Chain A
Amino acid sequence: MTPRVGVITFPGSLDDKDAARAVQLAGGESVSLWHADADLHSVDAVVLPGGFSYGDYLRCGAIAKFAPVMEKLVDAANGGLPILGICNGFQVLTESYLLPGALTRNDHLHFICRDQKLRIENNSSAWTSNFEVGQEILIPLKNGEGGYVADENTLDELEGEGRVIARYLEINPNGSRRDIAGITNARGNVVGIMPHPEHAVEKLTGPTTDGLGFFTSLLSSLVKTGKVSA
Chain B
Amino acid sequence: MAYGRKAKNEAAKSIESLRQYHDWSVRVVDESDWPDRGAPGRWAKVNLDKLTRWEQTLFLDADTRVRGRLDAGFRLLDAGYELVMVPSRPQHNEALRHLRSDEERKATLREVGVDPLQLNTGVMWFSKAAGPLFEVWREEWERWKDKDQGALLRALERHPVGVALLGWPFNDEHGEVVEHRFGACGG
Whether both chains belong to one complex is answered with no
